[in-house]
Structure 1
């Protein structure tokens, strides 16, 4: 069982990405993802962080990545684990879970 906390950062915005019509909002995706990870990897520490790309806060790494989402027209929400993009627009749980398993997370 994993005891090292991995941070999952979701970069999003209040408004939907123009290419993401009919998808949940960034905040809804964040909440859905948080719940899905808690169910799949119970009692294993995961730090979930939401960063608004239009009003970013946090360390310089997060501020720079938020700027990159806008400048590179990435489909948001963008899900990042340890500086690796693991989901864009409509993130897939399978991809995110596989990345967490690389860091020692065990599915229950």
Structure 2
């Protein structure tokens, strides 16, 4: 059985200054959740949203929230298995490729 992937979306309510005219981090989280579910139906994965300015999570998640702020990463930042897959305006193709790398398969 393949490993159940965990997707972490790090962002904030206010839109990143460099990401004007893009969807909010929360909107991107909801969009990705729906898109991944459609692409890989009946295949389990976890997706979580973390507000970088409300860092009240476990030590690892809090540290990454601080990293996003300190390194001025464009948010939302999409992380899969501790690897940054996209930031600012994440690309579905890249995210899908990462899922396929872990054994997920498309029904489309």
In structure 2, list runs of 5 or more residues that go unmatched: none
Most deviating of 82-91 and 58-67: 58-67
In structure 1, list runs of 5 or more residues that go unmatched: none
How far does the alpha carbon of each residue in 1:23-79 deviate from its partner, in whole angstroms, 9 at most, with x for none? Answer: 000000000000000000001011000000000233211110000000000000000
Partner of 1:22: helix, strand, or coil? coil
What is the match of residue 19 of structure 2? 20
Most deviating of 39-48 and 49-58: 49-58
What is the match of residue 31 of structure 2? 32
Across the two proteins, how many residue pairs are aligned to each other? Answer: 107
State the distance in 2 between where 1:13 and 1:73 align: 13
* Shift in Å, 1:4: 2.6
What is the match of residue 63 of structure 2? 64
TM-score, scaled relative to structure 2: 0.95
Question: Conserved in 1, the CA contact under 8 Å of 2:2 and 2:102?
Answer: no
Question: Conserved in 2, the CA contact under 8 Å of 1:14 and 1:25?
Answer: yes
